[in-house]
Amino acid sequence: MTRYHALLRSACATAVALVLGHTAHAQSTPFTYQDMLMLDRISDLSVDPAGDYALFTVRATDMEKNKGVRSLWLKHVSVPTEPEVRLPISDGGFADARFGPDGKAIYFLSARGEGGTMQVWRTDHDGRTAEQLTRLPLDVGAYRVTPDGKGLVVALAVFPECKGDEIACTVKRNAERAKDKSTGTVYTKVFVRHWDTWADGTRNHLFYLALNGADAPSLPVALTDGYDGDCPPKPFGGAEDFSISNDSKTVYFAAREAGTTEPWSTNFDIYSVPITGGTPTNLTTANKAWDAAPRMSPDGKTLAYKAMKRPGFEADRFELQLHDLTTGTVTPLATAWDRSVDDYAWSADGKSIYAIAGDLGRTRLFRIDVKSSTVTPLSKDGHMDAFVETPKGFVFLKSGLTSPSQLFAAKPKATMIDEGATNLTAVNANLKNKEFGAYEQFNFKGWNEETVHGFVIKPVGYVEGKKYPVAFIIHGGPQGSFGDMWTFRWNAETYAGAGYAVVMIDFHGSTGYGQAFTDAISTHWGDRPLEDLQKGWAYALKTYPYLDGDRAAALGASYGGFMVNWIASQWKAPWKCLVSHDGVFDARGMGYTTEEMWFDEWDQGGSPYTEPEKYDTFNPALHAKDWSVPMLIIHSDLDYRIPVEQGIAAFTALQAKGIDSRLLRFPDENHWVLKPQNSRMWHSTVFEWLDGHIGKGGK
């Protein structure tokens, strides 16, 4: 029996006992990081066209084997009382599972076949047998099924210079490389490395494969032959970066032409190409900024996509654009709505677009009327992770500060789909016996007398009249947010469960408060956000008497790590200890060694080789002489965004000054710590550090 089966059986048994009136109330215990690490994680929602069945992935943790174990589950949405079913095809490994256009077949990626390459497979609702649909000599990185069900569009990593014969030529070159005993690589342009991977010269290209009567694929047709760019984009792109027209005749995709300027360019464009092959047509040449996520309207007349306005800025507002496919006219949608679209989908009737966007510390679902641009909120709080409109209502994944993502069905005609929604699964049913810290949102006047928001969380076991040590957690990005959301890396409730109060400030630069608020941090990393943090801390201490200002620690990662390194000299008085994860120590060094140059050069206001003085304005390395607060440094070897030398340099400075300090290094992690046992060590080291310097529990 799997651990999830055991949970499901336990949940069912509990439900029966409740009905019979014989169950005893379980004793609640604090939610801890050990609990968090072992939680199951729901993702990858797909719902059949009729709205009867939901398909989703559950990722369990095998701590002994130090890996996540994924399984595919099917839930009969129309019969909520019927337990979800684990599909047997899970045992062979899978990824990116989704319903086909007829709702009967389930498509997925798997490397279970001969040769061990990732290919497209198909199964039915029973999920007992799997049929291999592609037998390509290269891994399929992403795919889509054509709306008519007669073909596939797949993404393969090929050498673009192999134009005319990309697949066979790439296979040959890979074989030649494997035989070569030398290990050197000659690069002629950047990126030489990106995120956590060194460049190998390949590009993600799209191919079309027709399925014949026997469901065997035809020879692949190149759709981006010789294109010097990636679709899906690296490192995090997927099937959301391309789509297929309703008549299955045209493919739309988002990509950036690389050339020699790729690390400086955010000029992604939307292209169209016949599914039978040909030269792609650039539909967004006029916009030199980011265009993404093309999706056709139900009537096939309009192509929607997301677009930014400012070239070189990755945190600009994503605004929806409507491209009339007959006239070529492009019309922006809801221009007065000062929010950036994360994800979106057309409504079934084509009269509206549903959009997910950050909004004042929450991530909500909105309806945008296509004709009037009227924006109406459809969810209230928490973090909307995914949604599908069905003929029977919305099915969605939602998380929040006190809950990981869960699967819900909205009540019919509900004004807010998350109010009174039905939880459809028993995943993580044991959380009902866990106690979380009570939280509330607050606001205050920050930089420029503008309103700034934050969250405060009481420690579990809070007793009126006592004071508690505080974890002051600073988010990264810097264009990000710490609000009513769940995370498996910086989970605020694990600090509350360990006996700490938590304060989080969405300083200037945070997302979800309007684009001007987000813009305010660029070239101001060390002053405006610092002022917000200082004023927010003062407000919290004054407003919440249970916060012990004499027992406080500041923690942060990425930009948050930079800010910890910065306040170590600029605002060290409140803090008994600090934690800096993957933080920038030397701004000049960061400017030369990071991979996505557009980010640093936009936020610093210039390049490190033409205007180095701008990198010194808020450079922690220049003020390390003033450090004195104990600090834990955490960094990883595969972090190419903020290279490990930044962490080593900070630790060297601490050690040279004789400051109480530690360095936790992971040789096999990137900007994030993902392996279960590494995550456990991360948390145990951080909490041991906090316990030793500020203690825990109330006084």
Residue 431 neighbours by CB under 8 Å, 6+ apart? 31, 39, 403
Residue 150 neighbours by CB under 8 Å, 6+ apart? 210, 211, 248
Catalytic residue among 671, 679, 683, 693: 671
The number of beta carbons lying within 10 Å of the beta carbon of residue 464 is 7
Helix residue ranges per DSSP H, 305-411: none
Task: Return d(Cα 257, Cα 270) in angstroms, integer.
Answer: 11
First-to-last C-alpha distance (Å) of the chain: 45
The 8-class DSSP code of residue 581 comes to E
From the list 439, 558, 583, 435, the residue with the least C-alpha distance to 502 is: 439
The number of beta carbons lying within 10 Å of the beta carbon of residue 172 is 14
The HSE-up count of residue 650 (CA atoms within 13 Å, CB side) is: 40
The secondary structure of 296-310 as a DSSP string is E-TTSSEEEEEE-SS
Is the bond preceding residue 232 a cis peptide, omega within 30 degrees?
A: yes
The 8-class DSSP code of residue 192 comes to S
Task: Return d(Cα 369, Cα 336) in angstroms, integer.
Answer: 13
Task: Return d(Cα 331, Cα 372) in angstroms, integer.
Answer: 12
Task: Return d(Cα 108, Cα 140) in angstroms, integer.
Answer: 11
8 Å CB contact between 232 and 155? yes
Token reading at 698 = 């109330």
β-bridge mates for residue 269, sequence order: 255
Catalytic residue among 48, 291, 418, 639: 639
Residue 693 CA: distances (Å) to CA of 122, 327, 361, 577, 632: 55, 66, 30, 6, 11
| Helix/strand/coil for 120 | strand
From the list 323, 426, 347, the residue with the least C-alpha distance to 15 is: 426
Task: Return d(Cα 101, Cα 366) in angstroms, integer.
Answer: 26
Annotation marks residue 5 as catalytic = no
438-444 own/partner pairs: CB under 8 Å, 24+ apart = 438/462, 439/401, 439/402, 439/492, 439/502, 441/361, 441/483, 441/484, 442/539, 442/540, 442/543, 444/535, 444/536, 444/539
Annotation marks residue 671 as catalytic = yes
- Amino acid present at 662: R
From the list 687, 465, 597, the residue with the least C-alpha distance to 194 is: 597
Catalytic residue among 558, 636, 661, 679: 558
Residues in the chain: 699
CA angle 633, 634, 639 (to 5 degrees): 130
The secondary structure of 1-13 as a DSSP string is --HHHHHHHHHHH
Token reading at 433 = 């016996």
β-bridge mates for residue 387, sequence order: 396
Task: Return d(Cα 416, Cα 287) in angstroms, integer.
Answer: 36
Angle between helices 528-543 and 559-570 (to 10 degrees): 80
Annotation marks residue 639 as catalytic = yes
Residues 592, 598, 599, 602, Cα dihedral to 10°: 100
Residue 197 neighbours by CB under 8 Å, 6+ apart? 234, 235, 640
8 Å CB contact between 255 and 277? no
Task: Return d(Cα 294, Cα 596) in angstroms, integer.
Answer: 24
Q: Which residue numbers are catalytic?
A: 558, 639, 671
